[in-house]
Structure 1
Amino acid sequence: MLLHRLALASRAAAEEPARNAKTALLAACLRELGPEEAPAAVALLSGESRRQRIGVGPAALRDLPPPADRPSLGVRETEDALAVLAAVHGAGAQAERRRLLHALLGRATAEEQRLLTGALVGELRQGALDAVVGDAVAKAADVPAADVRRALMFRGSARAVAEAALTGGAPALRAFGLEVGRPVRPMLAASAPDVAAALERISPAALEWKLDGIRVQVHRDGDDVAVFTRSLDDITARVPEVVEAAASLPLRSAVLDGEALALAPDGRPRPFQVTSARTASRQDPERLCAEVPLHVLFFDLLHRDGEDLLDLPGGRRWDALGQALPSGLRVPRTVTGDPDEAHAFLRGALGRGHEGVVVKDPDAPYAAGRRGAGWIKVKPRHTLDLVVTAAEWGSGRRRGLLSNLHLAARGGEADGLGPWVMLGKTFKGLTDDLLAWQTRELLAREVDRSASTVHVRPELVVEIAFDGLQRSPRYPAGLALRFARVLRYRDDKGPAEADTVAAVRELAAEGL
């Protein structure tokens, strides 16, 4: 099948608001493809192609070749081309990847370019990616969706699960199971605005500190230990202290879920970028271990000494965790249905510098996939009113629209940083309607532009939610927003009413 058919199905799913309708559109396309081509399509639609680590980021996709007039690329042919890209390493790799990428995109129609660029940079906005595609695979193969989701949890690869479902049906899916040494997809948490709202959904509940670290899944099989990230990357060689902690446990085999984070001497977490940089670095791990030691805390036990525990209620898994691990390796937890006790526990977590709490159902099994009701995260949402000083052109589905916003706070004469001080960028939280509106409004305020960026008069005030502040030498105030996303434009405020750098620094001093 031509890639063009898949691109049209992806766009139709993106434009369809109803989840069931999205699933039906993608399932129909997968049936047309058949069991030989459909797994390759699933790899693209689910975002798995991006996880091939082919070294392609937004910068490589800013200047695309002109699209082809008519479709010629096949689905399998496209997957093979991406595999060749992923295999490029060594001297001159970046230039060779760019050449191969542009050769591929030069054969793609505009619709196919949208699909490919969106898949490669994570902006394929067809709704829930893995979850919708998994349900489409189930519908196309006529198997229970629960079987597909469970197989995805164990196998990790949407492509492999699609191939099993379409060729072997439910029996092939049920053959997937937990294997010590192969990472499973992690269970995720839904969100609630506060602990009272979370307790309305789960009560009594287990509350745990929500740590601001790197999610780690640790597998031990005898003397062998492997450490994986949330995205299933193997970082064993980079985190020797995590390996050592797992190797010290009185267990023959285990699969543990937890967080690794860097702590200051007073026991408070260091800024997230310190932990992130440490776990991302491939430099001398022993030296980094001495300079920025990591501490690991676990909150779940999925396998112990030959026994899988995933299907047990959370309370029983946590009992097993408590029996296997000392308290110093476990995330602090309390069980309560009392809102006052829950708020006190949350205040304690925040007071120690952590993000918030995760509220968990003691009866829930461990299940990856959709963010269900079994785990609910609660963390304060911080907001600032900032001014847009520039915006970058989008790629993929956002091509032709101003997407990535440059956000600035008001400066002051005392700080010497000028009238507007940049704190970061974001393209998150923007609906299609808002993208179109802000493109019109920003172009009406244009004062200058480069190939990728339009600079504008600082007139539009936007309310930004963010998870915290981090030190950053890239920005003039030495601070940057973490996980910034747009809430709304403040048409009731002018730029003189935007938040100041001084106010942002006060938040940083308070440990935000």
Structure 2
Amino acid sequence: MTPFARLLEALVHTPGRSAKLALLVEHFRAEPDPRRGWALAALAGGLSLPHMTASVFRTLAEERVDPVLFRLSYDYVGDLAETVSLIWPADRDDGAGPALDAVIAALRETPRAGRAGVVARLLDAMGPSERFALVKLCTGGLRVGVSGRLAKTALAEMSGRDLAAIEEVWPGLSAPYEDLFRWLDGGPPPEMDRDRAFRPMMLAHPVEAFLYAAAETRENRETDAETLARLDARLDPADFLAEWKWDGVRVQAVSGPSGRALHSRTGEDFGAAFPDVLEAIDWRGCVDGELLVRRADGEAAPFSELQQRLNRKTVTARQIAERPAFIRAYDLLHDGRDDLRPLPLAERRARLEAFSPALDVSPLVPFDCWEALAALRAGARDAAQEGLMLKRRDAAYVGGRPMGSWFKWKRAPLTADCVLMYAQRGHGRRSSFYSDYTFGAWRDGAEGPELTPVGKAYSGFTDEELKRLDKFVRDNTVDRYGPVRAVARTLVLEVAFDAVQRSTRHKSGVAMRFPRIRRIRWDKPAAEADRLEALERLAP
């Protein structure tokens, strides 16, 4: 367990991508099978363990140390795994505990009723770093700044294999990935069903990231003269095709002699939840597109309708009838005979349009200059679109996010002035700061105006602003609910968000999509913040 625990600790305290990559490469080279495979699974999201809630570890710790001391320590440290690892009363050094594969076997094989006891015995046998890693594994959130793609990039760097080739075989693999590592070490490639294989998806850059340096980029930049001037100077509109950015879920539909599959962006097959989509496939090949729900009038429904069908293992006939799903096709990657990804987009697009009459092909948006396209983008919200996609006519389909080939030009965000109500500590390098903020809008209550929560955000502010916000929370705490602090209702946050949806799960009846803090309004009285009715008017 010690090498994996030391890896997690090093990743937590290593900020740079290149440095994290070097740590991963070193670990995968040094560790034997199956331990490196289990580490890869934990880092890349492929590890299936019985989930244990934070309350289990709090209870275990409070049975062994003074509960008040534990709660004060947890409040000061901010991270449950770190708190438990340091306060647990076991005089062991790292290296005393069992190996990673033995720990995973013990957790998987123990019935639910005995799981807490097994975890307690493991914690007793471990040193501080190992205890930290165990709590992270059991609670299901490593939060060490490593994505699945970074882990796969480390495999490519370790072995010299192409990253796209690793991503292509990844969906057919399972932990602890011994056949994958045999291939990476020079052996034969893993066996997989090529007919239903996932092709690494091509992704887009925000057009603002291409046009503006990081120091001058503003996420809410409107289409002004400066933006159009930069577009004209750097990109020729004749080189690009444009289409709407549909508000659904990006998918890849594949079909072959061995069956059909519906892959997410990460390669997960979730076709079982959308049998109506799989049944509608009357072709063989691989189509890239957007998963949407169709309204009664034939148009695409809002994302909130699709949400009702997501994350289900099974679906009923009634759910299918009420919210029929379909794919709006963007691209054709394989036509059942040939891999079309090396071809230019214009040729792939022509083949897509002629491929199958059953396909709903995303229409092109005609334009002859950036100013005309900007005018269309300005009406994207009224047209229920997320914005526009710009794709080079001559671009091959390349997995990842190659700069200069695809751009997304999203509609300008909505904004609202809301009042900070609650704060919670962050994770990882933010574990010492109150960085997760719940905010509310005014409405009429039984005793006059009252605040009701409308969203939660943990991004959009600088490190200096975070320090100032953290100090405000500490200085203005009026109540505590476990790890959450209620604060005096005096600070206004200008919140940017993409849309507002009706929600029965939220007390306010609405939910913001992708909220982030745009500005801290130290200057604005809380009484002048927005009312709930203003947000309700934005919800479809």
Which bin holds the TM-score, normalised by the shorter protein? 0.7 to 0.9
Within the candidate set 181, 203, 214, 1:188 is matched to 203
> Per-residue displacement from partner, 1:205-247 (whole Å, max 9, x unpaired)?
1212111112222111148322233343333232232123213
Q: CA deviation at 1:82?
A: 6.2
> Per-residue displacement from partner, 1:372-407 (whole Å, max 9, x unpaired)?
443222212223232210123445655454343211
Q: Output the amino acid matched with 2:398.
A: A
Range moving further from structure 2, 371-380 or 59-68: 59-68
Within the candidate set 442, 461, 464, 1:410 is matched to 442
Q: CA deviation at 1:284?
A: 4.5
Q: Which residue of 2 aligns with 1:274?
A: 305
CA contact (8 A) 2:294 2:300 kept: yes
Q: Which residue of 2 aligns with 1:332?
A: 363
Range moving further from structure 2, 499-508 or 173-182: 173-182
> Per-residue displacement from partner, 1:161-206 (whole Å, max 9, x unpaired)?
9867764448669889982223334322221346856774574212
Within the candidate set 154, 158, 161, 1:136 is matched to 154
CA contact (8 A) 2:342 2:397 kept: yes
Q: Output the amino acid matched with 2:199.
A: V
| 1:428–1:34 CA distance, 2 compared to 1 (3 A) | farther
3-state SS in 1 of match to 2:524: coil
3-state SS in 2 of match to 1:439: helix
> Per-residue displacement from partner, 1:296-338 (whole Å, max 9, x unpaired)?
2111112112212223222222222111133861112236562
Range moving further from structure 2, 295-304 or 346-355: 346-355
Distance 2:170 2:448 in 1: 51
Alignment of 1:479-490 (within 5 A): 479-490=510-521
Q: Which residue of 1 aligns with 2:101?
A: 76
Q: Which residue of 1 aligns with 2:18?
A: 20
Q: Which residue of 2 aligns with 1:37?
A: 35
Distance 1:492 1:283 in 2: 51
TM-score by length of 2: 0.77
3-state SS in 2 of match to 1:310: coil
Q: Does 1:312 find its partner at 2:329?
A: no
Q: Which residue of 1 aligns with 2:143?
A: 124
Q: Output the amino acid matched with 2:414.
A: H
Q: Which residue of 2 aligns with 1:245?
A: 280
Q: Output the amino acid matched with 1:184.
A: R
Q: Which residue of 2 aligns with 1:256?
A: 287
Q: Does 1:388 find its partner at 2:420?
A: yes
> Per-residue displacement from partner, 1:433-458 (whole Å, max 9, x unpaired)?
65554333212111111223211111
CA contact (8 A) 1:155 1:161 kept: no
CA contact (8 A) 2:7 2:23 kept: no
| 1:349–1:457 CA distance, 2 compared to 1 (3 A) | closer
Q: CA deviation at 1:481?
A: 0.8
3-state SS in 1 of match to 2:198: coil
CA contact (8 A) 2:195 2:258 kept: no
TM-score by length of 1: 0.80
Within the candidate set 368, 384, 388, 1:357 is matched to 388
CA contact (8 A) 1:189 1:374 kept: yes
- Figure out how many residues of one structure are paired with residues of the other and give that number: 488
Q: Which residue of 2 aligns with 1:4?
A: 5
Q: Which residue of 2 aligns with 1:449?
A: 480
CA contact (8 A) 2:12 2:428 kept: no
Gaps spanning 5+ residues in structure 2: where? 62-83, 209-222
Q: Which residue of 1 aligns with 2:211?
A: none
Q: Which residue of 1 aligns with 2:267?
A: 232
Alignment of 1:58-137 (within 5 A): 65=61, 66-67=84-85, 70-71=93-94, 72=97, 74-80=99-105, 111=129, 121=140, 124-126=143-145, 129-137=147-155
Q: Output the amino acid matched with 1:244.
A: E
Distance 1:244 1:464 in 2: 42
3-state SS in 1 of match to 2:365: strand
CA RMSD of aligned residues (A): 3.8
> Per-residue displacement from partner, 1:347-382 (whole Å, max 9, x unpaired)?
565433121122122222223334644322221222
Q: Output the amino acid matched with 1:76.
A: D
CA contact (8 A) 1:227 1:235 kept: yes
Q: Output the amino acid matched with 2:260.
A: V
Distance 1:277 1:500 in 2: 28
Range moving further from structure 2, 213-222 or 226-235: 226-235
CA contact (8 A) 2:172 2:193 kept: no
Distance 2:126 2:523 in 1: 44
3-state SS in 2 of match to 1:377: strand
Q: Output the amino acid matched with 1:239.
A: F
Alignment of 1:128-207 (within 5 A): 129-141=147-159, 143=160, 147-156=162-171, 167-169=182-184, 179-193=194-208, 196=228, 200=234, 203=237, 204-207=239-242
3-state SS in 1 of match to 2:517: strand
CA contact (8 A) 1:238 1:285 kept: no
| 1:498–1:410 CA distance, 2 compared to 1 (3 A) | same
Greater Rg by CA: 2
Alignment of 1:42-53 (within 5 A): 42-49=40-47, 52=48
Q: CA deviation at 1:122?
A: 5.0
CA contact (8 A) 1:463 1:490 kept: yes
